[in-house]
Structure 1
Amino acid sequence: MKLNNNYIMRMLVSYLPILCITISVLIFIFFSIINQFNVRNAIQANKLTAEYITNMVDSSLKNISIDVQKMAETGGDLERFLETTSDRALNFEASNQLSNLMVRYGLIDSVYLYRVQDGHVLDQSTIRPLDQFPDRSFVRFSLDQAYTGVWSSPRVREMTAQGSPAQVRVTSLGFKIPRDTGSLGYLMVNVKISSLSGFIGQMIDHTITDAQLYDAKGNSFFHAGQTAPSKNRLSADVVSDYTGWTYRISIKGGQLLDFLFHGSTLWVLLGLCAIILAIGSMFYVTRRNYKPIESILHRIDRFSSIIKTEPKEKDNEFAFIDQAIERLITNNMAFQEQQQEHMVIRRQQFLQMLLKGEYKEDQAAWEQEWQHFGLSAGHFMVALLELDQYVQFGLKYSPSDQSLFKFIVSSVAQETAEQNGLKVIVEWIAKNQLVILLIAEEGMALEHQLLHLSEQIRAWVEGHLDFTVTIGIGTPADDEASIARSFEDAEAAVSRKVSVGVNQIIDALEVKGNPDREWFDYLKMIRTIVRQLRMSDGGWPQELSRLFHEMTVHRMRKDDVDRLVHYFIFHLEYELGGALPEAMKPWQQEVKPRLAAAAEQSDTLGQVEQDFLGTLTKLATQIEELSQNRRHNALMREIRDYVAEQYLDPNLSLTILSERFQISPKYLSQLFKESIGQNFSDFLIGLRIEYAKRLLRESDVTVQQISEMLGYANPTSFIRVFKKIVGLSPGQYRESEMKSAERIEE
């Protein structure tokens, strides 16, 4: 083994560096080529961005220029201000116009108006002589220019801030009034460079893009004293037709990108060199590592030649060693098979003891088994995998195929756990149930690990096999004694697939906090369905749907569903035997076996409901046909319909019915009992209580108003009757229905 390990290490040391270097170079080349495409796209995007910024800035500056030209037109208020030297109203009105211009355009830093007549300058706040105006040097410079109406290069505007002189960088636009001579005055607008920078900055992403602005002479707007550097190949320049300024958009880190962008030939050559070097190195290393194998082959060939030349000599050392090794291998294989069978049985017994918590009776034996399987005490969690639609699974596949599929599922579970670095015990404990016991040193994230593992197993089975599985997740266990509790929780979780659905992961923590509905509510619903079915009332399918909906919403376990379904079958058989004995023959021969088979063979409530609905629909047709053959059936249906319409009448009684339908009260009461299964008073009270329940569920009518509507003189009497029939007071019933509706919405 030592020699073998050294040889393996030498092989790895020989090949791995070549493989790693080659793959690294190729990966780097691949990403460099991909980066070239990205840079090309970025250059095109920069070009579009520069054009967009140019259009937006030019549009804003043009709008400012147009409005300033309108203000400077002769005949306006500014002309009257320039012609009159001592009118405060005109001064205020002209200053207001300048302020409104600044309000309309946020880019404008300041606006002022120079009056030639007396040499005064008006801005947004005051009028003063030109000699006292901070920016007087630029005003005098502009007056000497022959052509105005052009945005200037970036300049420094002198100003006074809080009583102290200050400077701010702006670009200016001036118009003579009138335009041809400027004999009346000069209107000047200043746009702050920082505002212009902020306006442009809103249109780019500063983390990856840089934007610069230069005037016609190459002076930078955003960096005083700097001129435009030479154009980078990764930047985009757009010259404005309006201002003559140059807008430059470039990518940050451009030097590295430029190198990557223009090194395509280098990358191709480097890739070819890496491949040639890898091929040559592989040949060299392979040849060098093959020498020991070649030496062994020569020795085997030499011994083979000796044996061929002496065929009759059987007692040589090689034959003896060969026979000894053959016997050793044969015996070892037989022993391994026997040991493997023993280990499987021992493992199953160990797991059964672990899940049932029976190891406490023999603690020493338990410790021995625990150490034997190489498991260390720590934190545990149980998952229970169950084959869905096992009846169909057993009918579809032969026993050998079933065993093969079970082996595949357990192998997938084991291998998936190993790939995730998890330690698990996987065993089939029943014909359709596989236990997955997760063992970890740390208790943190134990549930997340098991949920992730279970979802991988479920998805693999769904994607590769013709059947599905549902997995129940137990609760974490901090010691060996708690494993049985975790297993019970996993069993309870997987049993709820009848209401939750198949092919799912069901966590015990999710269903634990969802208590089952009170049993008497379900039993009352079942009795209602059976009574409506026996009486040929067409509302029983809706009540049946409501029953299964409630069981689904409350995620009932398989055992609880089976109990309710069998109670449904028992109660229906009891009612039919008492009211319709002639219906018992089809019930025993067809209906009851179908209902029982549906309850046992269906994995979900949806399947049970579908099978029940189809079978009971046929039974309802048979009951209706039998009922129609009974004496006074038409009369009793008419009476029942009349009572269903007039049940809110407080004067309704057997006497009134006997007078209306010309039948004695005593015989009418007997017919009620035979046809409906209830006496008249109970039937009438049942209708009124059902109406009251509907009002409590669907309206805000008070209990007192409901009692008056039902003809009760005292609300206390109504509450007592309601509680006796329903089991809850009207207020409690309304509150429970509201909570149930909220849970359904959630």
Structure 2
Amino acid sequence: MTSKWVPKISGRRRNSRFDKSVFVLFLISYIAVLVLAMMSNILYHKTVEKKMLENAKRSNLAMLDQLKIDIDNKIRQINELSNNIVFNTKVNMLLKGNDVLYSYYDLKQEFMAFPKSKIIYDYYVYFANTDEILTATLKSKSKDFYQAMYNYESMSFSEWHQMILNQYHFNTYLPVQQLNAYNSQQYRVLTFIQSIPVNINEDLLGQAIILIDESKIRGIIDKMRWGTHAHIYVLDKQGNVVLSSEEAIALPQGIREQIGNSGNVFHYNEGKDKATVLYQISKDTHWKYIMIMPDKEFLADIRQTKIFVFLLLLCFGLLGSILAYIFSYRNYRPIKEIKEMFNKKEHHVDFQYRNEFEYIKCSIMESFKKQSDFDNMMAIQLPVMRSDYLTKLLKGYLGEIDIDKDTLNFMKIHLLSDDFIVIIAYIHSQSCFLEDFSEKEWALARFVLANVGSELIEKKYEKYFIELERNQVAFILNIPDHALVKKSQKQIKSLVQAFYDLLKHQCKLQVTFGISNIYTGLVQLRQCYDEASKALEHGILGDQRIVFFEEMDTPEQYYYYPIDIEVQLANMIRTGNYEDAVKTVDMLFQVNFETKQMAAETGRYFIMDLMSTLIKILNMTLAKRQKPLVAMDDFLNRIFIYDGIDRIQAEIKTIIKEICEQIQEYHSTPHDRLITNIKVYITENYGSHSLSLTSIAEEFNRTPQYISTLFKTYTGQNIKDFISKIRIEKAKELLRDDQLTLTDIAKQLGYANDMGVIRLFKKYEGVTPGVYRKQIEEEKNII
């Protein structure tokens, strides 16, 4: 599987650095969340601030409305008193100069009977016709009254007389002024003036003047001032400022112009000064109640709250930033460890990545790709590994400890039961299917064998095919049910016969099958393989095509190839005596394979032993001629490619003929002929008492030194040893005759007595002649 990330990263270099670390992303994320939280808090604070402003405005409007109600109630009391005075019959009669019916005393008594009010400091009536002032307690001239009773700090008598007493007033309220009362007392009063009569078209008869105690009204205003820090103004219906709070500035004209006919709120800006203006208008008196709240005062608490919130946000922002860093690092640390883990394990070319996530993602994708490649490789190699595993089981290289469920699952070996049988098929080289014996043809032959077997063997068997050698294939069959073992054996016999017929007639393949018995347990596959191999070799050597191990006769476990026969055969071949050598080989094959039933493995050992004799002779000849030696495996491969004992025997004869031809060619030189003649002379005269190096030299007209050196050079041994070996071989033949005594044998060998024969046997055979004769008798009994 090709990773889609590989093309992306292939063009960017990395030196353990990243465009943007995940730590930075985490930190930015936490900071972003923190900023969002702070922004939400700011927005919430803004909303709360707006609500607070609205609530403050509503609260202030409510207080202003309450002030309006309180003052309206007080004005109503003043109006009631004014009406009682203005519309009083006695007052009007006295003002018109009619003092017959009513006297001033009566009027004073009536004044004293009027309802009292806390806000009214005092009141009096001015009589224009007499220029007199009448109160509830006294009557005097206006000038005396002004000078003795009440006078305004900021107003002279003439101004007072002109502005208040001699002008028409209708429900007129003068601004608060300092009033100097009798007994040197001072009061701040609000002056109410109502002309009598009320009708402006009539002549002015007098004035009803009520002095209102400002302190009774200012208490309410001061409370509002203390609670709101606002400037409060009370305007009469003409727009004159009647009352104002302490330290109140002059009411700006701009504010007057923006006041409408009903209560409202508006913002007023004059230069740098900003204020919120609230006002209410009385429907009864048409008085205006104005509250001016400078922003620096009105918003002072809000500003303090803002500063507090800002400092709080700053502190929490700093704390949040520290926590964001800590949390980012804590969350980044596992990613960093994973990245470092990949760095330790990955050895690919470095690249530049956006961040650790991309690096880890790419590393994981590469790991997935490697795992996928590994899985694909394992899928490709699985048949080979399974074949190797089963081969080791067959050959006994694995034990119980190596057989477990996980291993079988990994190898995809599914078992139906614990019962197994092994069939080994051997492809003969004489098959018409094989033309040039190329490896391709052998592979194709094995492929045909495996596929035909897969199709032919019933699906109820779990089957596995193993290529053992170029010309051998093993079939492992798993029997589905232990109770059906006997039935399965019969079915397998018929199945193998059908398998053989199909391969022979349809595929042109000559195949020999060796079939084992059924065994329980995977570890017993070694026994199955051993039996199938023995059955196969028995079939190959016995020229049989289907061999069941259970049907084989009990074979012999040894072969006949005594040392003396080996020496004779070697001497025959060394002298180029092909005819006698072939007769000896035929005798050996007849004894081992015709007169008795030999085990296939034992037969192989016999053939290998015989071939070792031939290769020794051949390599000795090649060494003398300084030519490359022949390996044992080359000879064995040459022999065992043939099927059947007859073919193997014929090939061995061919090899002997080739060796004899090599020897005869080697001995064709004068020196070779001389050596051959010397050997023949020794062989013919070994029984002469005078046989020695000197007699041989005299026979061939050579000096003893020449004969000794030449013989040693060409044969690798001296003449004395060669004479001794000829005599001992002849002695072995004579010892087979029970009628001959040891003395008789010594005389025939050229010795004076039997001690010469005994010394000869002990030197070359390691035993005495008597012991050797007993060994020969034991071999005869065995045969």
Quickly name the TM-score band, shorter chain normalised: 0.3 to 0.5
Question: Which structure's CA Rg is the greater one?
Answer: 2
Q: Which has a greater percent of helix?
A: 1
Highest RCO, 1 vs 2 (Cα 8 Å, sep ≥ 6): 2
